[in-house]
Amino acid sequence: MSTQHEHTDDGEPETPGDRRRAEKAARAAEREQEAADAEPDLGDDAVTLKVFRYDPEVEAKAEPRFDTFRIPFEKGMTVLDALIAARDTYDSSLTFRHSCRQAVCGSDALFINGRQRLGCQTQIADLEGDVVRVEPLPHQDVVKDLVVDMEHFYDQMEAVEPYFQTDETPDDDLEEQFQTPENREKIKMSTRCIWCGACMSSCNIAAGDNAYLGPAAINKAYRFAMDEREGENMKEHRMELIEQENGVWRCQTQFSCTNVCPKDIPLTEHIQELKREAVKSNLKFW
Amino acid sequence: MREYDVIVVGAGGAGLRAAIAAQEAGADVAMVTKLHPVRSHTGAAEGGINAALREGDDWHDHAYDTMKGSDYLGDAPAVEALTRESPKETIQLENWGMAFSRDEDGVVSQRPFGGLSFPRTTYAGAETGHHMLHTMYEQVVKRGIEVYDEWYVTRLAVTDEDEPEERDCHGVVAYDIKRGEIEGFRARDGVILATGGLGQVYDHTTNAIANTGDGVAMAYRAGVPIEDMEMIQFHPTTLPTTGVLISEGVRGEGGILYNSEGERLMFEHGYANNDGELASRDVVARAELNEVAEGRGIEDEYVHLDMRHLGEERILDRLENILHLAEDFEGVDGLEEPMPVKPGQHYAMGGVETNEWGSTCVNGLYAVGECACASVHGANRLGGNALPELAVFGARAGRHAAGDVDDEPEITTGWDEDSEEGENVSPVPLGEADLPSAAKGALADGGRSSPPSAGADGGAAAEASAPEGVVEEAVQAERTRVHYLLEKEEGVNHAEVRADVQETMTENVNVFREEGALEDALADIREARQEYQHVTVEDPSRTYNTDLIHTIETRNALDVAEAITVGALARDEFRGAHWRKEHQERKDDEWLKHTMLSWNDGSPGLWYKPVVLEGENKSYEPKERSY
Amino acid sequence: MAEHYSSFDRSGTRWLLQRLTAAFLVVVLAFHFFLLHFVNHAADVTFAGTSARMSTWTYFSLMVLFLLTATFHGVNGVYNTLVKRDGVDGWKQTAITAVLVVASLIMVVQGLRTALVWTNLF
Amino acid sequence: MSQSYDRGTVEDFGRWRSFTAGMWAWIFHKFTGWVLIGYLFTHIAVLSTALAGETAYENTIVGLEGLAIVRLLEVGLLAVAVFHILNGVRLLFIDLGKGLEAQEESFYASLVLTGAITVASVPTFISGVF
Ligand SMILES: Cc1cc2nc3c(=O)[nH]c(=O)nc-3n(C[C@H](O)[C@H](O)[C@H](O)COP(=O)(O)OP(=O)(O)OC[C@H]3O[C@@H](n4cnc5c(N)ncnc54)[C@H](O)[C@@H]3O)c2cc1C
Ligand code: HEM
Ligand code: SF4
Ligand code: F3S
Ligand code: FES
């Protein structure tokens, strides 16, 4: 979304306000440092978090760095819980997205100990090693700390016409379209996507090439292409979308998308199935 | 300033449906939402959507069940609108491609749910809300409706006539979280609030961290009365460590609750001899806590919900998501062991007072979804009645705001001749009144257009009454507030204030409510309010400053928590979810009325309005509610 | 919203050919390696020996096919990695395509000419 | 839009540590594919000495085969070819939608088999030079 900047309360560079803000920033940085340095005695049961920090506006954070936080461990603690604890007790400027806490909103896909995972779905007890290392999703621009820019991901999702379209709709308000339980089962896994972006972030092809639709968008396309309610004509149209240059053919079956998907969607399988479908539908014209 | 016909605040199920309806009725619509639409908490709903679709079922029965479930605190015109239009809306969702579970013959599946006389809960696995949310968002994408995501609405731009009924809402003020800029949004025809739940005033809740009751608080401060706030639903089956919900669908499919003695408590201890586990939620929640209180709880905290006997195939088919939730968030394999469950805050029946079209008493302001109170749920919401509410009232408000409806509403809004003045029940002052503070100017966000302190130069009066002026003034007021918060040197962190509120609410305003405890809670909230006067935002950045957002949210949580507690103290009877230790019976003579709370520019006042039990062509007679 | 992609270059055909040639190459490459390193030692290869093999129709056509498929398979594989990446479009894409096409043509021609030296089929 | 920080190449290079089997398979397949096409070009070049006559051809081949380094390279070539073939077969199965659950195992199997075949072939390749 491009919007023009309206500078309201930060006009000239050297206003008293700016000075105060700068001082405040310096103090905040100091406090952070103290918080990071001070190692309160938390006993054996403490988690060490190493968190990526970056903020273009705050001098101390303009050059990315890692901060360390020690958090008392509690049974059942997730990485998200630990991040919240770090934020609420040590440094309220620690920034990350979160909402549902139950793996349905897709807000908190992060790079945790070298792998894309949802913070809320990752039990600290299940992680190996003493240190939990949390970084923003790779291959996306970092806006601040753990927050990445998701616009490109959304654009790709929306590029596959991610909405139901059908050859004919029922005339009556109360008339449903039929769908066999088998067909529903077929699309079931693909409908589970929560738009977290983990798969896109893990795919090397998507990383090297922004034009590639990526696993999530292709899976979305699969969800509709395989839905028998859409009808034959629509399916042809769907296949055209999928077969475009930046669609399925770019996938090199790396499987990392499938490995990281928090909803266990068999992404590679879906992509491969679409490749075969595409070949089949092309063969007809030969 | 941006300008649209209709502005929808919030993009959960209710907001999305409203936006689609308004756009279909020809309006130029924009959605402003603090989360990207698919991150809204509607996505967490599991169980299903109640709709009388089948042969043998009838929307009148659904209406009756809903009324009974509400313990006769629902307003009949709203209840009937919900139940009459739910089938159409549900099928509409199907026609938009929603992946409902299917029966062998290809029709959408339905299952039994608590408090229903017919298995009419239409579902999509145990992730109905996820499918509903995504399906609606897809339609929004299809229609090209403009969405401002990660824009936080901080204030409504409402004129400042003395009586709320005379005020107009001309738009909203929003803070672009990514850029850190405040902008005005002018709505030519209407603003629709759809900001969802308020579970974050409690610490054990099924609600998302973003559910802080923003819409309720903003409307309240803009003068709109809020209704039945004390009616909070506690869901009987949430996971003890996190509050993550285990759907009622588990009991709907035949799951059984056991206490530590291995007894099927609902029957063996006589809590609900007919419906057992499928009794209404309030009944089951109290039963569980009772078992724990009497020493039959497990680890003195929870009971067991067992679904193993349903068999792996059925569980995988209909409740697979539950297995993942129990595994990921409690480390329990639902196929092998019973799942630990205890009650947790789940839903707010009360909210912004509206009529059956979603209109509030302020002109041009609507509220739908969980933040609104039409009221369809009265004192207790039936499982599976919230999702249809989103669709039905979202669509109604959207159409109404776009000017497509000219029905006379049956439900009145605002103060009228049937209203009744209430007595002050609080031992401490409420609201903003008498708060000693230097910060008062900037923090006393009245929600109305007059800027609290800065730049009240009077001269712009004529200009200010024009819609653009009202929005502009609201924008100025918010700039002042944000500026103040970012500039303030030392102070307390919002997280401490929030934690204090959550703690006292969970301790004192929970399932079981006692007069003394409620008064304590009010005192605690008062203290938290005072603390909040010293709140500061440590993060100086304009980029994605969540510290700032949470600080503003905490202010909303404070107002909402206070409202819940005041209502709970005022209503000295036992109705639906609202249990009072000293008052163990439903008092129909006295209390067939809604608790209303008005902000009155900072010193809240209680009043009441009668329940509407007159339906389209029948009247709902209060009966004893037994399951 | 992003504009919809509309370049309907059906890369599917090349994708399929890449697989089909691969399937063919599995057999031929294995055969080739086996024959020239294990059955006949590479060090003992003589012009006459090669010539003898090349003078049977089956072997000759197999080798020509081997050359064609391997060239296609290999060059197409390289093309896929080089061309369809971010920022590679317009003249760069054309240039790479041209270089690859010319190189494979030279190789095929050179290979065929060599094969014709050996064979006595014509 | 707000400024944002692009982690660029630092990130790209640091990422191999988090690679999973499928990604290694992809890297290796690419690498071996390139080696093979490179070899094909050289191979044709070498063979086309036949155009210059019988002796030129035999001298070139025998001369090259007499070099230990060439023999070693041949072992490498075999390894590369075998891996590309085995993983290629794995990929063909994946394209057919077969055995996707075993993609990691089949990659490891390709590696192990490649190693075994290469080792077993060393005597054949080396014989005569040392
Ligand atoms: C775990 C769980 C399970 C449930 N299961 C069922 C069920 O099976 N059946 C059923 O009928 N009901 C169920 N419910 C209830 C139902 O899901 C909710 O009541 C309903 O989804 C609320 O929808 P909504 O659109 O009102 O709000 P939400 O979906 O919460 O959306 C709120 C929106 O408002 C936005 N917003 C909030 N504040 C602001 C602000 N200040 N500025 C800008 N935007 C803002 C948010 O970004 C969000 O987009 C369940 C609820 C929960 C928590
Ligand atoms: C003999 C059996 C062979 C098999 C089974 C095989 C299989 C494959 C397959 C399936 C691919 C496609 C990978 C993808 O797109 O995901 C591929 C790529 C490739 N192959 Fe082969 N191949 C074989 C032989 C050869 C030969 C002889 C060469 C060289 C001449 C070669 C060179 C390549 C190249 C360069 C790529 C592209 C790799 C990349 O850049 O990603 N292959 N191979
Ligand atoms: S496919 Fe999986 S990993 Fe990718 S966005 Fe969807 S849920 Fe996330
Ligand atoms: S990681 Fe990428 S290459 Fe294909 S299998 Fe997944 S999309
Ligand atoms: S917080 Fe919603 S997915 Fe993790």
pLDDT in tens, B65-97: 999 999 999 999 999 999 999 999 999 999 999
Question: Last residue of some domain: A110, A129, A147?
Answer: A147
Question: Last residue of some domain: A92, A121, A147?
Answer: A147
The amino acid occupying position A266 is: P
Is A11 or B17 the better-scoring residue by pLDDT?
Answer: B17
Indicate whether residue A196 lines ligand 4 (CB < 6 A). no
Question: Could you report the per-residue pLDDT of B485-531, keeping only the tens digit for each?
Answer: 999 888 899 999 999 999 999 999 999 999 999 999 999 999 999 99
pLDDT band at A4 (very low <50, low <70, confident <90, very high): very low
- Is D101 within a domain? yes
Instruction: Name every residue whose Cβ is closer than 8 Å to that of residue C34 and which is 6 or more positions away in sequence.
Output: none
pLDDT band at A10 (very low <50, low <70, confident <90, very high): very low
Protein residue with its CA nearest to atom 24 in ligand 1: B196
Write the CATH number for B165: 3.50.50.60
- Is B20 within a domain? yes
Is B90 or A204 the better-scoring residue by pLDDT?
Answer: B90
Question: Could you report the per-residue pLDDT of B34-56, keeping only the tens digit for each?
Answer: 999 999 999 999 989 999 999 99
Nearest C-alpha of chain C: how many angstroms from D124?
7
D neighbour chains, 3+ CB pairs within 8 Å: A, B, C
Question: How many Cβ atoms sit within 10 Å of the Cβ of residue B308?
Answer: 16
**pLDDT at residue number D16:** 67
- Cβ within 8 Å of C, D 90-109: 91-92, 95
CB contact under 8 A, A159 and C2: yes
Q: Which residues in chain C have Cβ-Cβ distances shorter than 8 Å to D41?
A: 103, 107
The residue count for chain A: 286
**pLDDT at residue number A194:** 97
- Is A75 within a domain? yes
C neighbour chains, 3+ CB pairs within 8 Å: A, D
Nearest C-alpha of chain D: how many angstroms from B181?
11
Indicate which ligand has the atom closest to the C-alpha of A255: 4
Question: Could you report the per-residue pLDDT of A34-54, keeping only the tens digit for each?
Answer: 655 555 555 568 999 999 999
Pocket test for ligand 3, best of A158, A267, A269, A270 (most atoms within 8 A of CB): A267
Question: Count of C–D CB contacts within 8 Å?
Answer: 78
Question: Could you report the per-residue pLDDT of B300-318, keeping only the tens digit for each?
Answer: 999 999 999 999 999 998 8
SS3 (DSSP) at B302: strand
CB contact under 8 A, C13 and A250: no
- Is D93 within a domain? yes
- Of B182, B613, B191, the closest CA to residue B401 belongs to B191
- Is B553 within a domain? yes
Q: Which residues in chain D have Cβ-Cβ distances shorter than 8 Å to B178?
A: 1-2
CB contact under 8 A, A58 and B35: no
Q: Which residues in chain C have Cβ-Cβ distances shorter than 8 Å to A246?
A: 5, 7, 84
Instruction: Name every residue whose Cβ is closer than 8 Å to that of residue B45 and which is 6 or more positions away in sequence.
Output: B128, B129, B130, B132, B386, B387
Cβ B238 vs Cβ B341: under 8 Å:
yes
Indicate whether residue A108 lines ligand 5 (CB < 6 A). yes
Is residue A284's pLDDT more than 80? no
Write the CATH number for A160: 1.10.1060.10
Question: Could you report the per-residue pLDDT of A166-187, keeping only the tens digit for each?
Answer: 988 888 888 999 999 999 999 9
Query: Do A187 and A206 lie in a common domain?
Result: yes
> Which of A277-281, B564-568, B606-610 is least confident?
A277-281
Is residue B240's pLDDT more than 90? yes
Q: Find the residues whose C-beta lies inside 6 A of ligand 1.
A: B 9-15, 32-35, 37, 40-42, 44-48, 128-129, 152-153, 194-197, 206-207, 210-211, 214-215, 245, 347, 369-371, 383-387, 390
Indicate whether residue A274 lines ligand 4 (CB < 6 A). no
Is residue B448's pLDDT more than 60? no
Domain of residue D109, residue span: 21-36+68-126
Query: Do A154 and A277 lie in a common domain?
Result: yes
Average confidence score pLDDT of chain B: 92
- Is B425 within a domain? no
Query: Do B502 and B548 lie in a common domain?
Result: yes
Distance CA D115, CA D112 (A): 5
- Of B233, B253, B247, B209, the closest CA to residue B341 belongs to B247
- Is B216 within a domain? yes
Distance CA C84, CA B290 (A): 66
Query: Do A161 and A135 lie in a common domain?
Result: no
State yes or no: is B281 an active-site residue.
yes
The amino acid occupying position B578 is: H
Q: Which residues in chain B have Cβ-Cβ distances shorter than 8 Å to D3?
A: 543
Query: Do B70 and B157 lie in a common domain?
Result: yes
- Of B391, A283, A163, the closest CA to residue C20 belongs to A283
C6 touches chain A (CB under 8 A): yes
Domain of residue A239, residue span: 150-282
Q: What global pTM score does this model have?
A: 0.91
Nearest C-alpha of chain D: how many angstroms from B1?
18
- Is A194 within a domain? yes
Protein residue with its CA nearest to atom 7 in ligand 3: A193
Question: How many Cβ atoms sit within 10 Å of the Cβ of residue B390?
Answer: 29
Protein residue with its CA nearest to atom 21 in ligand 1: B42
Query: Do B449 and B336 lie in a common domain?
Result: no
Query: Do A157 and A120 lie in a common domain?
Result: no
CB contact under 8 A, B179 and D1: yes
- Is D32 within a domain? yes
Separation of CA B269 and ligand 1 centre (Å): 35
Phi/psi at A9 (nearest 5 deg)?
-110, 5
Local structure of residue B409 (DSSP, 8 states): P
- Of B499, B496, B498, B501, the closest CA to residue B521 belongs to B501
Separation of CA A252 and ligand 4 centre (Å): 6
Tally of structural domains, chain D: 1
**pLDDT at residue number A281:** 78
Q: Which residues in chain C have Cβ-Cβ distances shorter than 8 Å to A210?
A: 86
CB contact under 8 A, A244 and C13: no
Question: In what helix (H) or strand (E) does residue B238 lie, and over which residues does it extend?
Answer: strand B232-238
Question: Could you report the per-residue pLDDT of B404-436, keeping only the tens digit for each?
Answer: 988 889 999 999 999 999 999 999 999 986 676
Query: Do B25 and B120 lie in a common domain?
Result: yes
Write the CATH number for B496: 1.20.58.100
The amino acid occupying position B327 is: E
Q: Residue ranges of the alpha helices (H) in B209-248?
A: 214-221
**pLDDT at residue number A286:** 45
Indicate whether residue A203 lines ligand 4 (CB < 6 A). yes
Query: Do B320 and B355 lie in a common domain?
Result: no
D5 touches chain A (CB under 8 A): yes
Interface probe with D: pick from C14, C20, C50, most Cβ of D within 10 Å: C50
Question: Last residue of some domain: A108, A131, A147?
Answer: A147
Query: Do B150 and B55 lie in a common domain?
Result: yes
Distances (CA, A) of D8 to A151, A152, A206, C94, D14: 18, 16, 14, 27, 10
**pLDDT at residue number B466:** 87
CB contact under 8 A, A252 and D4: no
Question: A214: exposed, middle or buried (C-beta count within 10 Å: 0-12, 13-18, 19+)?
Answer: buried
Average confidence score pLDDT of chain A: 86
Q: Are strands B226-227 and B232-238 parallel, antiparallel or unpaired?
A: unpaired
A276 touches chain D (CB under 8 A): yes
CB contact under 8 A, C2 and A155: yes
Is residue A30's pLDDT more than 60? yes
Protein residue with its CA nearest to atom 6 in ligand 3: A193
Query: Do B312 and B405 lie in a common domain?
Result: no
Separation of CA A117 and ligand 5 centre (Å): 10
Question: Could you report the per-residue pLDDT of B136-193, keeping only the tens digit for each?
Answer: 999 999 999 999 999 999 999 999 999 999 999 999 999 999 999 999 999 999 999 9
Question: Could you report the per-residue pLDDT of D15-74, keeping only the tens digit for each?
Answer: 666 778 888 899 899 999 999 999 999 999 998 888 888 888 888 888 888 888 888 898
Cβ B125 vs Cβ A188: under 8 Å:
yes
B101 touches chain A (CB under 8 A): yes
Indicate which ligand has the atom closest to the C-alpha of A193: 3
Query: Which of these is catalytic: B281, B318, B526, B586?
Result: B281
- Is D57 within a domain? no
Q: Which residues in chain B have Cβ-Cβ distances shorter than 8 Å to A229?
A: 97
Distances (CA, A) of A71 to A45, A61, B496, D94: 9, 22, 17, 44
Question: C13: exposed, middle or buried (C-beta count within 10 Å: 0-12, 13-18, 19+)?
Answer: middle
Query: Do B254 and B399 lie in a common domain?
Result: no
Distance CA D50, CA A66 (A): 63
Distances (CA, A) of B42 to B38, B111, B117: 9, 20, 25
CB contact under 8 A, D3 and B543: yes
Local structure of residue B200 (DSSP, 8 states): G
D19 touches chain C (CB under 8 A): no
pLDDT band at C6 (very low <50, low <70, confident <90, very high): very low
CB contact under 8 A, D97 and A254: no
pLDDT band at B218 (very low <50, low <70, confident <90, very high): very high
Tally of structural domains, chain B: 3
Q: What are the tokens at B223?
A: 């003068």
D102 touches chain A (CB under 8 A): no
- Is A106 within a domain? yes
Question: Could you report the per-residue pLDDT of A144-156, keeping only the tens digit for each?
Answer: 999 999 999 999 9
Edge-to-edge strand ranges of the sheet holding A109-112 = A65-72, A46-53, A131-135, A109-112, A115-118
**pLDDT at residue number A108:** 97
Mean local confidence (pLDDT), B237-265? 93
Domain of residue B241, residue span: 236-341
Half-sphere exposure of A260 (CA within 13 A, CB side): 34
Query: Do A62 and A179 lie in a common domain?
Result: no
Cβ B343 vs Cβ B36: under 8 Å:
no
**pLDDT at residue number D64:** 87
Q: Which residue pairs, CB below 8 angstroms and at least 24 apart, start in D30-37?
A: D30/C81, D31/D80, D32/D80, D32/D81, D32/D83, D32/D84, D32/D87, D33/C74, D33/C77, D33/C78, D33/D84, D34/C78, D35/D77, D35/D80, D36/C74, D36/D80, D36/D81, D36/D84, D37/C70, D37/C74, D37/C75, D37/C77, D37/C78
A141 touches chain C (CB under 8 A): no
- Of A161, A69, A251, the closest CA to residue B144 belongs to A161
Sign of CA dihedral A239, A244, A246, A249: positive
Distance CA B154, CA B180 (A): 13
Separation of CA B390 and ligand 1 centre (Å): 9
Percent of chain B with pLDDT over 70: 95
B neighbour chains, 3+ CB pairs within 8 Å: A, D
Protein residue with its CA nearest to atom 1 in ligand 5: A101
- Is B151 within a domain? yes
CB contact under 8 A, A163 and B97: yes
Cβ C10 vs Cβ D72: under 8 Å:
no
CB contact under 8 A, B183 and A6: yes
Cβ A139 vs Cβ A207: under 8 Å:
yes
Distance CA B179, CA D1 (A): 7
3-state SS of C73-115?
HHHHHHHHHHHCCCCCCHHHHHHHHHHHHHHHHHHHHHHHHHH
Question: Could you report the per-residue pLDDT of A52-68, keeping only the tens digit for each?
Answer: 999 999 888 888 999 99
Cβ B235 vs Cβ B289: under 8 Å:
no
Separation of CA A197 and ligand 3 centre (Å): 6
Distance CA B350, CA B185 (A): 27
- Is D11 within a domain? no
Query: Do A160 and A62 lie in a common domain?
Result: no
The minimal CB distance from D37 to the residues C33, C37, C74 is found for: C74
Tally of structural domains, chain A: 2
**pLDDT at residue number D100:** 86
Is residue A161's pLDDT more than 60? yes
Indicate whether residue A80 lines ligand 4 (CB < 6 A). no
